[in-house]
Amino acid sequence: MRTATARQLQQDYLASLGLPVFDREITLRLASDVPGSVTGDLVSQFVLQPISAIRHRWAGGDARAIRDHLITVLHDLGLTRARLTSLSPADVRVVGRTWRVGEVTLRPRPTPSTCECCCLARWLVVLDAFEPGGGRSQYGAEQAASDLRVDAHVCLSAAALQNWQDAPTLLPVIDRHGTLGLDALSPRSMTAAMSRSRELQEDRPVRRVNHAVLPVRRRPPPDRDLPDLLDRLEEMVDALLHSISATLDA
């Protein structure tokens, strides 16, 4: 009974943050696999950390934008440009509910646009359509990219894909026509890819019109918004922890 009550309190808390029902269920399911205090880990790993991951938010884009976003995330997690160049599909593996790429671990997040596992999974969906020498790699990759939704978790199903494991490299070149190549990006090209991704994800949110990626103007949020949000979040976390503690002690 206590567990059910605590879970309901967690559900109510996530609902108060505005998370959709689907994201709430994913968050609680992921948190249930984390040892220790479920509430503490839920708050720190699936609520507070996504705020710091805002710079990794995926706003949509074509195959190149999806690849560049993954490159940026992997580099920020600690992989060097030289290591990124050497990555192959064999370096990708699923460990429990997380994905590992080389020496780094990608963590799931409740919001698809900041979920590190979804960042990788989106690219695997594109890479899964890769057909070297078959004449369909451009269509397949771009079609796969256009079918991806910004608001949907891809990491829950991408593990079932198989074709991407036969790709010659994990992060191949993409020509101006959108065709995936056989060779890996060079370290210099990795730098250019990260620059494009940071510009696209941070400074120029995008919208898709007939599969074309267009910049969207937005007004910068007031400086007070983030501190106010963090203060409100801290108050809600304290209230949640107090309520759960009182329930478990009853």
Q: Where are the domains of the chain?
A: 2-53+239-249, 56-215
CA 90 to centroid of chain Cα atoms: 20
Token match 């990219």: residue?
A: 145
pLDDT of residue 89: 93
Structure tokens at 85: 């160049």
**Secondary structure in 3-state letters for the chain:** CHHHHHHHHHHHHHHHCCCCHHHHHHHHHHHCCCCCCHHHHHHHHHHHHHHHHHHHCCCCCCHHHHHHHHHHHHHHCCCCHHHHHHCCHHHEEEECCEEEECCEEECCCCCHHHCHHHHHHHHHHHHHCCCCCCCCHHHHHHHHHHHCCCCCCCCCCHHHCCHHHHCCCCCEEECCCCCEEEEECCHHHHHHHHHHHHHHHHHCCEEEECCEEEECCCCCCCCCHHHHHHHHHHHHHHHHHHHHHHHHHC
pLDDT at 188: 86
Residue that the structure tokens 């706003």 belong to: 59
Give me the tens of pLDDT residue by residue for the chain, a chain 250 residues long. 444 556 566 566 555 555 555 555 555 555 554 444 444 444 444 444 433 333 344 444 578 888 888 999 999 888 998 999 999 999 999 887 788 999 999 988 888 878 888 889 888 888 887 665 444 444 355 555 555 666 677 887 777 788 888 888 999 988 777 778 888 988 888 888 888 877 766 554 444 444 444 344 444 444 445 555 666 677 777 777 777 777 777 6
In angstroms, the Cα distances linking 70 to 37, 74, 126, 210 are 31, 6, 12, 24
Nearest Cα neighbor of 153 from 94, 110, 106 is 110
Q: What is the reported pLDDT for 17?
A: 53
Residue 119's pLDDT is: 87
